[in-house]
Amino acid sequence: MVCQIFGCSFKSKITNCPHKTYFSRTLCFLFLFLLSLYLILILKDIGKFDLKRRGHSIKQDDIKSLNEQVLYEDEFVFKNNSTMLKKKIITLIAAAAENDALGKDNDLIWHISEDLKRFKRLTTGHAIIMGRKTFESMPKALPNRTNIVLTRNKNYKADGALVTSTVEEALDLAKEDNQPFIIGGAQIYSLFMEYCDRIELTRVHHEFEADVFFPKIDASKWNISKKEFVSKTENQPYSYSYITYDKK
C-alpha cells in the first residue's frame, strides 16, 4: 500500500521495493515527530502541575511537607543575640489571615516560605513556648531552640522538649533567655497575650477556612511599631505584612 502511494511498480514484493530506504526514513521521521510532540505535551503538563502547586489549589499534604522542609532544613544557625537586649522581651510570634485564621485540623493552612524562614531566623537560639497540640503538629522538636511544651497532662513526655503545666513555670524554664518566643497555637496565644511585650504578626492578606483563630489584639494596649508589606508573586499567591506590635 505504501508502495502504491509512491507509485512503486513492485506492489506485492515490498522487500524488493526500491523505495524501501525512503519509507524507513519517512517512518523514522514520523516516529521522531510524534515522540517530540508527546514530550512537549508532557513537559507542558508538568509546568501546569507546578503552577497549581504554587497557586491556591495547593493540597494540605503538600503545605505540610513544604512547611516542614523549610522549618527543618539545615541552615546557618543564627547566634542568640538576646544578650544585646537590655531588658527581657517576651515575644509572641504568629501568622494569621485577615479573618484571624491560624490553622485547621491541627495544621497550618498555607505555605509562605519566606515567613517560615523569618520565623526560624528570629527564634533560633531562643526558648520557644508552645501548646501540646502545636508540638504534636510538628514531626519533632524544632532544632537549635529550647522547646517548652504546655499541657495539663502531668505524665506527658515530649522528645527533645521540656514539659510544664503552668504559664509561670513555662516562663521560668525560659528565664535564661532574654527573648523567649510564644509560638502558638490559639489557646497558648490567648493564655500568654497579657505576659507578652511584643507581637511579631504576619498578617496574610487572604481569608481561610480554619478551626483555630488568633485572639483579637486590643488596640488600646498595643502600638504598631513596624510594618512591612510583601506583595504576592507568581510563586507566592498571597500578599502579607510583617507587623510588629509593642505593648503600650
Q: Which is nearer to ligand NAP, 3 or 210 (CB)?
A: 210
Q: Which is nearer to ligand NAP, 189 or 222 (CB)?
A: 189
Q: Where along the sequence are the contacts to ligand NAP (CB under 6 A)?
A: 94-95, 102-103, 106-108, 130-134, 137, 150-153, 165, 183-188, 191, 212
Q: Which is nearer to ligand NAP, 183 or 243 (CB)?
A: 183
Distance CA 47, CA 40 (A): 11
Distance CA 233, CA 13 (A): 64
The least distance separating ligand NAP from the CB of residue 85, rounded to whole angstroms, comes to 23
Q: Which is nearer to ligand NAP, 87 or 154 (CB)?
A: 154
The least distance separating ligand NAP from the CB of residue 216, rounded to whole angstroms, comes to 15
Is beta strand 181-184 parallel, antiparallel or unpaired with respect to 91-97?
A: parallel
The least distance separating ligand NAP from the CB of residue 32, rounded to whole angstroms, comes to 51
Instruction: Name the one residue in this structure whose C-alpha cell is 497532662.
Output: 153
Q: Which is nearer to ligand NAP, 90 or 95 (CB)?
A: 95
- The answer for residues whose C-beta is within 8 angstroms of residue 52's C-beta and 6 or more apart is 58
Burial of 195 (0-12, 13-18, 19+ CB in 10 A): middle
The least distance separating ligand NAP from the CB of residue 90, rounded to whole angstroms, comes to 16
Q: List the grid coordinates of 235.
A: 510563586
213 and 99 Cβ atoms separated by less than 8 Å: yes
The least distance separating ligand NAP from the CB of residue 211, rounded to whole angstroms, comes to 7
Closest residue by Cα to residue 21 from 35, 38, 2? 2
